[in-house]
Chain A
Protein backbone atom coordinates (compact mmCIF):
# COMPACT_ATOMS: atom_id res chain seq x y z
CA UNK A 1 0.00 0.00 0.00
CA UNK A 2 1.32 3.42 -0.92
CA UNK A 3 2.06 5.44 2.20
CA UNK A 4 3.35 8.78 3.35
CA UNK A 5 4.79 8.81 6.86
CA UNK A 6 5.13 11.78 9.19
CA UNK A 7 5.97 12.16 12.84
CA UNK A 8 2.76 13.28 14.54
CA UNK A 9 4.57 15.58 16.97
CA UNK A 10 3.91 17.95 18.51
CA UNK A 11 7.07 19.68 17.39
CA UNK A 12 7.63 22.60 19.73
CA UNK A 13 9.99 25.44 18.76
CA UNK A 14 10.52 28.94 20.20
CA UNK A 15 9.47 31.98 18.22
CA UNK A 16 12.14 32.98 15.72
CA UNK A 17 13.65 29.49 15.44
CA UNK A 18 13.74 27.19 12.41
CA UNK A 19 11.10 24.48 12.37
CA UNK A 20 12.03 21.33 10.44
CA UNK A 21 9.29 18.99 9.32
CA UNK A 22 10.00 15.66 7.63
CA UNK A 23 8.17 13.05 5.65
CA UNK A 24 9.00 9.81 3.85
CA UNK A 25 7.04 8.12 1.10
CA UNK A 26 6.85 4.58 -0.23
CA UNK A 27 5.67 5.07 -3.85
CA UNK A 28 8.71 5.53 -6.11
CA UNK A 29 6.29 6.50 -8.88
CA UNK A 30 5.32 9.72 -7.11
CA UNK A 31 6.63 12.76 -8.99
CA UNK A 32 5.06 15.68 -7.16
CA UNK A 33 5.03 16.52 -3.49
CA UNK A 34 3.09 19.09 -1.55
CA UNK A 35 3.01 20.65 1.88
CA UNK A 36 -0.32 21.82 3.25
CA UNK A 37 -0.99 23.75 6.43
CA UNK A 38 -4.18 22.97 8.32
CA UNK A 39 -5.39 25.01 11.27
CA UNK A 40 -7.72 23.27 13.69
CA UNK A 41 -11.22 23.03 12.26
CA UNK A 42 -10.17 24.47 8.90
CA UNK A 43 -9.35 23.10 5.48
CA UNK A 44 -5.83 22.33 4.16
CA UNK A 45 -4.05 25.27 2.58
CA UNK A 46 -1.34 24.62 -0.01
CA UNK A 47 1.91 26.29 0.99
CA UNK A 48 4.59 24.55 -1.10
CA UNK A 49 4.89 22.19 -4.03
CA UNK A 50 8.10 20.52 -5.22
CA UNK A 51 8.72 18.35 -8.25
CA UNK A 52 12.48 17.85 -8.62
CA UNK A 53 15.38 16.92 -6.35
CA UNK A 54 16.86 19.75 -4.36
CA UNK A 55 15.57 22.79 -2.58
CA UNK A 56 12.77 25.19 -3.39
CA UNK A 57 12.42 28.40 -1.44
CA UNK A 58 9.38 30.65 -1.07
CA UNK A 59 9.62 33.38 1.53
CA UNK A 60 10.22 31.80 4.95
CA UNK A 61 9.53 28.31 3.60
CA UNK A 62 12.00 25.90 1.99
CA UNK A 63 10.94 22.52 0.68
CA UNK A 64 13.54 19.82 0.07
CA UNK A 65 13.13 16.66 -1.99
CA UNK A 66 15.42 13.65 -2.20
CA UNK A 67 13.89 11.04 -4.49
CA UNK A 68 16.71 8.52 -3.94
CA UNK A 69 15.97 8.51 -0.21
CA UNK A 70 12.23 9.03 -0.74
CA UNK A 71 12.34 11.94 1.65
CA UNK A 72 10.64 15.32 1.69
CA UNK A 73 11.12 18.09 4.21
CA UNK A 74 9.84 21.57 4.98
CA UNK A 75 11.86 24.21 6.78
CA UNK A 76 10.13 27.23 8.27
CA UNK A 77 12.53 30.04 9.13
CA UNK A 78 11.80 32.72 11.74
CA UNK A 79 8.86 30.69 13.06
CA UNK A 80 5.91 32.72 14.31
CA UNK A 81 3.11 31.74 16.72
CA UNK A 82 0.76 32.04 13.73
CA UNK A 83 2.64 29.12 12.13
CA UNK A 84 1.25 26.83 14.85
CA UNK A 85 -0.82 24.33 12.90
CA UNK A 86 -0.75 20.79 11.53
CA UNK A 87 1.44 20.37 8.45
CA UNK A 88 0.41 17.71 5.97
CA UNK A 89 2.83 16.17 3.52
CA UNK A 90 1.34 14.68 0.35
CA UNK A 91 2.65 12.83 -2.70
CA UNK A 92 0.81 12.27 -5.94
CA UNK A 93 -0.26 8.83 -7.11
CA UNK A 94 -1.96 8.92 -10.50
CA UNK A 95 -3.54 12.34 -9.88
CA UNK A 96 -4.83 11.62 -6.39
CA UNK A 97 -2.85 12.75 -3.36
CA UNK A 98 -1.66 10.40 -0.64
CA UNK A 99 -1.43 12.31 2.63
CA UNK A 100 0.58 11.71 5.73
CA UNK A 101 -1.21 11.98 9.05
CA UNK A 102 0.37 15.37 9.67
CA UNK A 103 2.85 16.89 12.10
CA UNK A 104 1.53 19.30 14.69
CA UNK A 105 3.78 22.34 15.05
CA UNK A 106 3.66 24.55 18.13
CA UNK A 107 5.58 27.83 18.08
CA UNK A 108 6.08 29.19 21.59
CA UNK A 109 6.06 33.01 22.00
Chain B
Protein backbone atom coordinates (compact mmCIF):
# COMPACT_ATOMS: atom_id res chain seq x y z
CA UNK B 1 0.00 0.00 0.00
CA UNK B 2 1.74 3.17 -1.20
CA UNK B 3 -0.81 5.57 0.33
CA UNK B 4 -0.64 7.63 3.51
CA UNK B 5 -1.18 5.41 6.51
CA UNK B 6 -2.64 6.45 9.84
CA UNK B 7 -3.32 4.53 13.00
CA UNK B 8 -5.28 3.96 14.96
CA UNK B 9 -8.38 4.65 12.85
CA UNK B 10 -10.51 5.13 15.94
CA UNK B 11 -9.32 6.12 19.40
CA UNK B 12 -11.37 6.53 22.55
CA UNK B 13 -9.88 8.31 25.53
CA UNK B 14 -11.21 9.54 28.85
CA UNK B 15 -10.67 13.13 29.87
CA UNK B 16 -7.15 13.64 31.18
CA UNK B 17 -5.59 10.75 29.26
CA UNK B 18 -3.05 11.05 26.47
CA UNK B 19 -3.78 10.44 22.79
CA UNK B 20 -1.03 9.44 20.40
CA UNK B 21 -1.76 9.46 16.67
CA UNK B 22 0.63 8.06 14.08
CA UNK B 23 1.14 8.82 10.41
CA UNK B 24 3.39 7.27 7.77
CA UNK B 25 3.64 9.37 4.57
CA UNK B 26 3.38 8.06 1.05
CA UNK B 27 6.53 6.42 -0.31
CA UNK B 28 8.88 9.11 -1.60
CA UNK B 29 7.15 11.91 0.32
CA UNK B 30 9.13 13.84 2.90
CA UNK B 31 6.63 16.47 4.00
CA UNK B 32 3.90 15.72 6.55
CA UNK B 33 0.96 17.91 7.53
CA UNK B 34 -1.62 17.42 10.27
CA UNK B 35 -5.14 18.81 9.97
CA UNK B 36 -8.08 18.65 12.34
CA UNK B 37 -11.73 18.47 11.33
CA UNK B 38 -14.26 19.19 14.02
CA UNK B 39 -17.80 17.82 13.55
CA UNK B 40 -19.62 19.72 10.77
CA UNK B 41 -16.62 22.01 10.24
CA UNK B 42 -13.88 22.38 7.67
CA UNK B 43 -10.32 21.15 7.82
CA UNK B 44 -7.95 23.30 9.85
CA UNK B 45 -4.18 23.19 9.48
CA UNK B 46 -2.28 22.28 12.62
CA UNK B 47 1.39 21.60 11.86
CA UNK B 48 3.82 21.00 8.98
CA UNK B 49 6.89 18.81 9.50
CA UNK B 50 9.83 17.48 7.58
CA UNK B 51 12.15 14.78 8.92
CA UNK B 52 13.39 15.89 12.37
CA UNK B 53 12.09 19.45 11.83
CA UNK B 54 8.91 21.32 12.67
CA UNK B 55 8.51 23.86 9.87
CA UNK B 56 5.23 25.52 10.80
CA UNK B 57 3.17 24.84 13.93
CA UNK B 58 1.08 28.01 13.72
CA UNK B 59 -2.20 26.07 13.77
CA UNK B 60 -1.45 23.95 16.78
CA UNK B 61 -2.76 24.89 20.23
CA UNK B 62 0.10 26.10 22.42
CA UNK B 63 -0.70 23.75 25.27
CA UNK B 64 -1.14 19.98 25.39
CA UNK B 65 -0.42 19.41 21.69
CA UNK B 66 2.92 18.39 20.22
CA UNK B 67 4.13 16.80 17.00
CA UNK B 68 7.28 15.14 15.77
CA UNK B 69 8.61 13.42 12.66
CA UNK B 70 11.70 11.48 13.68
CA UNK B 71 14.45 10.33 11.37
CA UNK B 72 13.10 6.81 11.60
CA UNK B 73 9.46 5.89 12.01
CA UNK B 74 6.15 7.63 11.61
CA UNK B 75 5.11 11.16 12.46
CA UNK B 76 3.39 11.40 15.85
CA UNK B 77 0.73 13.87 16.96
CA UNK B 78 0.47 13.81 20.73
CA UNK B 79 -2.36 15.30 22.77
CA UNK B 80 -1.85 15.35 26.51
CA UNK B 81 -4.65 15.59 29.07
CA UNK B 82 -7.38 15.35 26.46
CA UNK B 83 -10.63 17.28 26.90
CA UNK B 84 -14.02 16.73 25.24
CA UNK B 85 -13.32 19.57 22.80
CA UNK B 86 -10.44 17.54 21.35
CA UNK B 87 -12.96 15.06 19.89
CA UNK B 88 -12.48 15.35 16.13
CA UNK B 89 -11.09 13.65 13.06
CA UNK B 90 -7.35 14.15 12.72
CA UNK B 91 -5.99 13.81 9.21
CA UNK B 92 -2.42 13.50 8.12
CA UNK B 93 -1.36 14.48 4.59
CA UNK B 94 1.94 14.14 2.79
CA UNK B 95 3.56 15.77 -0.23
CA UNK B 96 6.73 15.18 -2.26
CA UNK B 97 10.03 16.97 -1.57
CA UNK B 98 10.24 20.72 -2.24
CA UNK B 99 10.46 21.63 -5.90
CA UNK B 100 7.95 19.06 -7.02
CA UNK B 101 4.20 19.43 -6.91
CA UNK B 102 2.76 20.67 -3.63
CA UNK B 103 -0.28 18.45 -3.95
CA UNK B 104 -1.13 16.94 -0.59
CA UNK B 105 -2.58 13.45 -0.24
CA UNK B 106 -4.55 12.52 2.81
CA UNK B 107 -4.59 9.43 4.97
CA UNK B 108 -7.78 7.80 6.24
CA UNK B 109 -7.72 9.80 9.48
CA UNK B 110 -7.94 9.02 13.17
CA UNK B 111 -11.27 9.68 14.79
CA UNK B 112 -10.70 10.66 18.40
CA UNK B 113 -13.54 10.46 20.88
CA UNK B 114 -13.02 11.86 24.36
CA UNK B 115 -15.46 10.58 26.95
Contact = CB atoms under 8 A, between A and B. Distances in A.
B108 to A, nearest CB: 5
B33 interface: yes
Contact of B56 (A36, A46, A96): A96
Contacts of B59: 96
Interface in A16-70: 32, 34, 36, 42-46, 49
* Most B CB within 10 A of own CB, among A44, A96, A97, A101: A96
Interface residues of B, number: 24
A44 B48 contact: no
Contact of A46 (B41, B55, B104): B104
Interface residues of A, number: 21
Instruction: Choose among A32, A42, A44, A100 the residue with the greatest number of B CB atoms under 10 Å from its CB.
Output: A44
For the residues of B in contact with A, the DSSP-based class is strand
Contact of A92 (B41, B102, B108): B102
Contact of A94 (B42, B44, B56, B107): B56
Given A43-B108, A46-B104, A46-B105, A96 B45 contact: yes
B42 A95 contact: no
Nearest to A96: B45
A99 B105 contact: no
A88 interface: yes
B69 interface: no
